[in-house]
Amino acid sequence: MPAPHPHEARVGAPDGARARWRSLAAPGLVALVALALLVSLGNWQMRRLAWKEGLLAQMAARADAAPQEPPARQTWAGLAPQDYEFLRVRLSGRFDHAREALVFQAAGGLAREPGYLVMTPLRLSSGAHVFVNRGFVPQALADPARRAAGQIAGESEVVGLLRSPEPRNAFTPPDEPGKRLWHVRDPLAMAAALGVPDAAPFSLDAQAGDVPGGWPQGGGALRNVANNHLSYALTWYGLALTLAGVFAVFAWRRLRD
């Protein structure tokens, strides 16, 4: 076979290089869009981190403050969770043990064994009610008759932290109002099912105290709120760097071959 003309060889090499560069256009565009998306997700998590740190600082300041009066009854309809979450308040009233509700708690974290949070409506002097999380009981003590000593009668004073209703997700089992069993703390749903009039949209986690018979055990309010935004941001940024590195190797090989 005759050798290629020297002029043809000189022309073919640049054409091949240009073709290889053109072949990177489509994958390069896809990689650039993916890179921008990953970086934007990382930036979003950093903004969430700043927001969450401010929220946690506010919660800590509220939870450690001296007890104060709860939000006035006439303001309840317009309250947002951030208006009262973890606010430390003092309430006085009478427990309506006949309308007690239980919220299931799996073992782990603050609960050493499966059991329930005892949610009891407290009737205020105004006639309104606030559900009080009086504390944890194991499954064996779900029946109030088995912890009758702890069913306090008469006027009671309760100090604790206000909490917003808990959200549901796709894995939350359905509640069983007929058994007075819930899987999230939702005071308005409890009030509707149990016939509790004029109920607050928030509940109160009672602080630890001396309860006759020792049950329920209060003071287990979960003040630790998850703050994983920094790790999420680093994950997105790491994926962005990995994508950039992979594409750089891919492009180098494409241009070299």
The DSSP letter of residue 224 is -
| pLDDT for residue 126 is more than 70 | yes
CA angle 157, 209, 179 (to 5 degrees): 80
How far apart CA 111 and CA 113 sit, in angstroms, is: 5
| Mean pLDDT across 50-58 | 84
Report the mean per-residue pLDDT for the chain. Answer: 87
Please say whether the beta carbons of 205 and 110 come within 8 A: no
Looking at per-residue confidence, does 145 or 110 come out higher?
145
Percent of the chain with pLDDT over 90: 60
How far apart CA 229 and CA 235 sit, in angstroms, is: 10
Coil/strand/helix, residue 203: strand
How far apart CA 141 and CA 148 sit, in angstroms, is: 10
**104-114: per-residue pLDDT in tens?**
988 755 557 88
Q: The tokens of 208 are what?
A: 């630890």
Distance of CA 80 to the CA centre of its chain: 16
Fold of the CATH domain 87-214: OB fold (Dihydrolipoamide Acetyltransferase, E2P) (2.40.50)
| pLDDT for residue 17 is more than 80 | no
* Sequence ranges of the domains in the chain: 15-69+225-257, 87-214
Distance of CA 24 to the CA centre of its chain: 43
Residues with Cβ within 8 Å of 86's Cβ and at least 6 positions away in sequence, in order, are 59, 62, 63, 161, 162, 163, 223
**pLDDT computed for residue 3 by the predictor:** 56
How far apart CA 162 and CA 70 sit, in angstroms, is: 8
How far apart CA 186 and CA 209 sit, in angstroms, is: 24
| pLDDT for residue 4 is more than 60 | no
Distance of CA 48 to the CA centre of its chain: 13
